Structure 1
Amino acid sequence: MKRFPYAKVGLAAALAAISLQAGAQGAGARISDGVVKIGVLTDVNGPFMDNVGRGSIVATEIAIEEFGGKVLGYPVQMVSADHQNKADVGSARVREWFDRDKVDVVTELGNSAVALAAMKIAETKHRMSIVTGAGAVRISSEDCTPTNLQWVYDTYALAKVGTQSIVRKGAKNWYYLTADYAFGHSLENDGKQFIEAAGGKVLGSSRYPFPGSDFSSYILKAQASKANAVAIATAGLDLQNAIKQGREFGLVEGGQQAVAMLMSIVDVNSIGLKDAGGMMFAESFYWDLDEASRKFARKFFEKTKRMPTALQAGQYSATLNYLRAIEKAKSDDVSDVMKQLKTMPIQDAFAKNGKVREDGKMVHDMYLVQVKKPQESKAPWDYYTVLETVPGDKAFQPLSESKCPLVRK
């Protein structure tokens, strides 16, 4: 009988603890499985590993850390895997994550074929996908889904910002060296559109099997074309090797300009300012742009000993705003989160003047940059001069041209 008061006290303490936990987890919050789980599917060991890979995993970790490791009082967890640049490998992992591991969102997806496959699976499973590493326009155009976002860039914006100014500066005739898969095709097709719109002409193109290492035969064809500019429509290690081999074959010395259709700061670091200096291209992020970008870059550098690429900064931004949207919606249900993201402004270390459109594309400021020559660089990673800032509504494809069935016209 004397144990009853203690039992009452124990029961009261337990109820109080439950009440405090419920309060900490947010009144009315709806979090599936009691945890928010983010899957980062990236290229860990392939040609894009420096642009995304481990750096994108680190960027995700930084965003989660800045949120305190929790949202609405519930833990945030991350899982990661290598898609090996194969759609079937990526698809199998995405299904496993959704069905077995209860992952709420799959993100990064730095290969267009992988991204297109993953976002379709996410739609059927009523889960979310956020593409930060792939740039095919069709991701948020004809293949758009109501549960997908395209966050960082697309080939339309890269081509528009990165070609028209160069044409106006006198490079009227172009030749394309293109990776033979969806992303490369998209870069070439969009670039041709803007080159011609600016008064230029594409004289020809060569498509190589991706990934590649020997570009000599394609470079010789580009030289034989006598084009003013040779556009290299690939990325990562392939881009670096193509630029280096172009230098070895005397492409620039022969009076032709090498133009990277997608270049990152780690590409510049690998190639070196001696060979990359003077190149112009479109970028969506630069670590030294403002104090917010520098603050994130310092955190990233502490963990990786290099500055972040645009794709890695974009991964940080996407993760951060995904968690913000859950917090505002008080739910991790994909419909609630998507609705919130499409109404809230996006402004952070990566995105300036950002907004998510009804087609799932996050539009934001883009930049035309020029690589500094060795004598112009004053410190490590001081690589870019920003020549022009292009507002998102001027850089990205207008909704009136979109083939996305979600767009009301």
Structure 2
Amino acid sequence: MHKRDGMKRGKGLTRRDFLKTTGAAGIAVGATMGFPAILKYARGETPIKIGVPAALSGTASLLGAEFRDASILAAEHVNAEGGILGRKVEVIVRDTAGTAAGASTRAKELIESDKVDFMAGGNLGHEGLAIHEQTFPRKMIYMANTMSDPIPAVPTFSKYTFHPDLAPFMMGNVVGRFVAEKLGRRWYFLIGDYAWGWQNYDGFSRVLKEYKGENLGVSPHPVGTKDFSPYIGKIMAAKPEVLIQVAPGFDQVNSWKQLREFGAFEKMHIVTALFMPGTIWAVGAEVVMGGYGGATFYWEAPETKPMSDLFEKRFGRPPTDDALSQYESVRELCDAAKRANSLDSEKIIEALEDHHFKWAKTEEWWRGCDHQCIQDVYILKPKMPKRKYDCFEIIGQIGGEKIARTCEEQGHKKDAKGKWIRYQ
């Protein structure tokens, strides 16, 4: 029998058969189109993307480079451990130039063009706020790794944003207690005239009031000031026991150099809220010799050195506190996704809240009410280095929830069932 005859004589194609056939074809087409993506996920070819907005140019470029390198190292370590949910992690770094506008634009690009799953970064406070405004409306988890008082507080707070770094108030609170107990209680303030400076000032001021000290005056100065002599004249005339200097980077270096030229180190203690090690490495430890300051990490601390050694081996220098905090931010995001066994934001929030962890320093934890990372702060005193980077000694360590504002002070409230109310 000819095949053609057999076909002709066979059973005719009914409507049901047609629907079965075309339905099967439709499923086959869908499967053919869908399988490559599914197989990519199974083989880990479609990475989980973490966006890293960082100041790779501009006045904060040293900080941006630290964020970039730490993010790369964290992703390498996660991938060496098998990635997340069978998929590799990829970090995508974008240059914010250290501005709020740049941070907002880069964050939007990372979300809309690069299709990132999470965000971690933002070196400066205004950058963090700008990125936060892009992420929380999209219900994207963001590790706002910047010193900011508003981010963990109502009304800015969002349940989708976590705050790995210290709030500036916390730095002032910690360093201020050390100063009041060890160095004296008659203070003068030299403050960078922007949000970070004044937020630190709030912390110092609260401590000074608590210890019944005396505020002899405040001299705010613009960021990027070259000549500090007009301010130093006022400081010397006030005759404080302690000068509190609050401005990082080259403002710190320039002011301390000129204070030394005026003989201030012989007449008072000089204290800064935060030592910026990258800047100090660049200019030499002798600039800050004789002073005191705070730090969220110290690369020579016993609990930090193993991680520091890995970083130095990879990049040829030890990590700054910015790098270590960013490393922890990426690791915590990835670890939370593993514990949640999901990329769903709500499940990751649940995995992070009140979670205790230890990556590169003493134990830390995410406070459930405001997502502030509760951690230790080191008090450092400069020393002449035995090697290039070993330029401080730890003379104090203060930490715990006592250094932060309370949840209620941050504006957080509980509902009738005792759960924290989430406003956005």
Name the TM tier (shorter chain).
0.7 to 0.9
Unaligned runs of 5+ in 1: 1-15, 26-32
Residue matched to 2:102? 89
Task: Give SS of 1:79's match.
Answer: strand
- Specify which of 366, 377, 398 is matched with residue 390 of structure 1: 398
Structure 1 pair 18/241, CA: closer, same or farther in 2 (3 Å)?
closer
Rounded to whole Å, the distance in 2 between the matches of 1:247 and 1:270 is: 18
- TM-score scaled by structure 1? 0.85
Q: Deviations over 1:105-133 (max 9, x none)?
A: 2222111112112112211111122122x
Q: Deviations over 1:222-265 (max 9, x none)?
A: 22222222211111222222212222232213x02221111132
Q: Does 1:196 align with 2:209?
A: yes
Rounded to whole Å, the distance in 1 between the matches of 2:53 and 2:37 is: 36
- Count residues in correspondence: 381
Structure 1 pair 294/147, CA: closer, same or farther in 2 (3 Å)?
same
Name the stretch that deviates more: 145-154 or 99-108. Answer: 99-108
- Specify which of 293, 309, 313 is matched with residue 302 of structure 1: 313
> Which residues of 2 match residues 5-404 of structure 1 at below 5 A?
34-50=46-62, 52-68=63-79, 70-132=83-145, 134-142=146-154, 143-253=156-266, 255-290=267-302, 293-372=304-383, 374=384, 377-404=385-412
Work out whether residues 45 and 84 of structure 1, in 8 Å CA contact, stay in contact via their aligned partners in 2.
yes
Report the residue type matching 2:333 in the other structure.
Answer: Y
What is the RMSD computed on CA atoms of the aligned residues?
2.6
Task: Give SS of 1:239's match.
Answer: helix
Structure 1 pair 268/89, CA: closer, same or farther in 2 (3 Å)?
closer
Sequence identity (%): 22
Rounded to whole Å, the distance in 2 between the matches of 1:392 and 1:231 is: 23
Deviation at 1:178, TM superposition (A): 1.4
Structure possessing the higher radius of gyration over alpha carbons = 2
Deviation at 1:218, TM superposition (A): 2.1
Residue matched to 1:30? none
Q: Deviations over 1:358-403 (max 9, x none)?
A: 201111122222222x2xx443322222222223223222324222
Report the residue type matching 1:334 in the other structure.
Answer: S
Rounded to whole Å, the distance in 1 between the matches of 2:53 and 2:135 is: 13
- TM-score scaled by structure 2? 0.82
Rounded to whole Å, the distance in 2 between the matches of 1:311 and 1:405 is: 31
Work out whether residues 245 and 270 of structure 2, in 8 Å CA contact, stay in contact via their aligned partners in 1.
yes
Rounded to whole Å, the distance in 2 between the matches of 1:275 and 1:391 is: 28
Report the residue type matching 1:161 in the other structure.
Answer: V
Structure 1 pair 19/173, CA: closer, same or farther in 2 (3 Å)?
closer
Report the residue type matching 1:156 in the other structure.
Answer: F
Work out whether residues 84 and 334 of structure 2, in 8 Å CA contact, stay in contact via their aligned partners in 1.
yes
Deviation at 1:18, TM superposition (A): 10
